Structure 1
Amino acid sequence: MAKILKIHPENPSEKQIDQIVSILKKGGVIIYPTDTVYGLGCDIFNHKAMEKLARIKGIKLEKAQFSFVCSDLSDLAKFSKPIDNSIFKLLKRTLPGPFTFILNASNNLPSIYKNKKTVGIRIPDNPIPRMIVEKLGNPIASTSTYSDDEIIEYTTDPELIAEKYDKLVDWVIDSGMGDHTASTVVDVTSGNPVILRQGKGILEPYL
């Protein structure tokens, strides 16, 4: 049974964040708020948790395209190959924000990602996931609760989300209603930004 933890959206309690981090370190899967839709996440270095996350999404782990939620741009150097200056400036202008950037992956990815050539990086404009990642010490794997087939409330209302995922996840963080539009996915692997999915983030003003 998933536990629901109400966390203030702007002033998260450190004690509550520590509780969530403890669950992640034990291999737990959580549902958490972002600056777009609510996300499903776990510790990227916990193999069992990653397998569980893939099962929830109904996919094989080796086929999964989970993005990494990071606390800031310092994780880029660890998980992606060096990027050119213009792309780095674009990331600095847009993040934190409602974007997922696809980058060329480095050799430092967790073992289950070893065959991946690219990695999606996300830094949400929401203090809760960024604090979780900072205290955990590494990114969390992330995939959204959003589905085109879903009734909108089941992807935006944390109580209904908790009801849907009750036996599948360990904790649900409730910080109020989520957005119903996912992040904008931008591929920058070629050195030029290419929008793969238009979501909440509008890239044009930053180019």
Structure 2
Amino acid sequence: MTRVLHVHPVTPQPRLLREAVEVLRGGGLIAYPTDTTYALGCGIGEKAALERLIRLRRLDDKHQFTLLCADLSVLALYAKVENPDYRLLKAHTPGPYTWILRGTHEVPRRLMHPKKRTIGIRVPEHAICQGLLAEHGEPIMTSTLLLPGEEFPLTDPLDVRNVLEGQVDLIIDGGFGGVTETTVISLVDGDGPEVVREGAGALDSIF
């Protein structure tokens, strides 16, 4: 049975955040709201939870996974970033962007693109996300709650509950979510930012 926690989107209750993080630390898979859409998340090293997520979304082996991070302080541990790129990231985080960077050896191989050895980095501007990350003390592996055959992510918490009942361990109901995913920017080639997907993050300040 899937647990549901009703968490305030602006002032999340610490007790409920602790309960959610206990699920993550126990190898569970959760659904939670972000500053763009609802998402699925699990601990970085939780292979079984990641495999459940892959099956749920029917992802192939070329899918680019993303680490949800509280800030850029963990960047050097998980990704390789040149100084000009770091300044760009700093100017646009937190916010609705996912940054594709070359991963380090600290990132489990199964989370990186199999050929490019890249990883997505995301710093959200959402109180529930930031509360989860602060309580967890490390990044969370995250993926948009976009189910197979659907054009848009689920937005209504009631729909999230009805569809994911029995498929995830915990749902954080933080109110209605958005339908527009993050803007994805690649900084891999060293030739400046490359737009991989245009989304919620504005592009006029990137270039």
Decide: shared fold, TM above 0.5: yes
The Cα of 1:134 is off from its aligned counterpart by 2.3
State which of 85, 89, 92 in structure 2 corresponds to 1:91.
89
The equivalent residue for 2:58 is 58
Paired with 2:26 and 2:158, the residues of 1 have a C-alpha distance of: 24
Q: Distance in 2 between matches of 1:151 and 1:163?
A: 18
For 1:179, the equivalent position in structure 2 comes to: 178
**1:14 corresponds to 2:14:** yes
How far is the alpha carbon of 1:148 from its aligned partner?
8.8
Question: What SS is found at the alignment partner of 1:18?
Answer: helix
Partner of 2:70: 71
Name the aligned partner's letter for residue 104 of structure 1.
Answer: R
- Write the letter of the residue equivalent to 1:33: P
Whether the aligned pair in 1 keeps the contact of 2:57 and 2:148 (CA below 8 Å) is no
Contact 2:65–2:111 under 8 Å retained in 1:
no
SS of residue in 1 equivalent to 2:125:
coil
The structure-2 alpha-carbon separation of the partners of 1:161 and 1:151, relative to structure 1 and needing over 3 Å to count, comes to: farther
1:151 Cα offset (Å): 7.1
C-alpha deviation, 1:86, in angstroms: 1.8
Q: Is the 8 A contact 1:37 1:145 kept in 2?
A: yes
Percent of pairs with identical residues: 36
Alignment length (residue pairs)? 204
Structure (1 or 2) with the greater helix fraction:
1
Q: For 1:11 and 1:71, how far apart are their aligned partners in 2?
A: 16
How far off is 1:22 after superposition?
A: 0.2
Deviations 1:54-108 (A, max 9, x none): 1111235x54422110111012111001x22221111111111000000011111
- SS of 2:104's equivalent in the other structure is coil
User: Are 1:162 and 2:161 matched, yes or no?
Assistant: yes
Q: Over residues 112-168 of structure 1, what are the superposed CA-to-partner deviations in whole Å (9 max), with x where a residue is unaligned?
A: 34756100001111021122122212211111113595375x611011111111111
Q: Which runs of 4+ in 1 moved over 6 A?
A: none
Preserved contact between residue 146 and residue 180 of structure 1 (Cα < 8 Å): no
In structure 1, the gaps of 5 or more residues are: none
When the two structures are superposed, what TM-score results if normalisation uses the length of structure 1?
0.91
TM-score by length of 2: 0.91
2:149 & 2:92 partners in 1: Cα distance?
29
Per the TM alignment, residue 183 of structure 1 is displaced from its structure 2 partner at its CA by 0.4
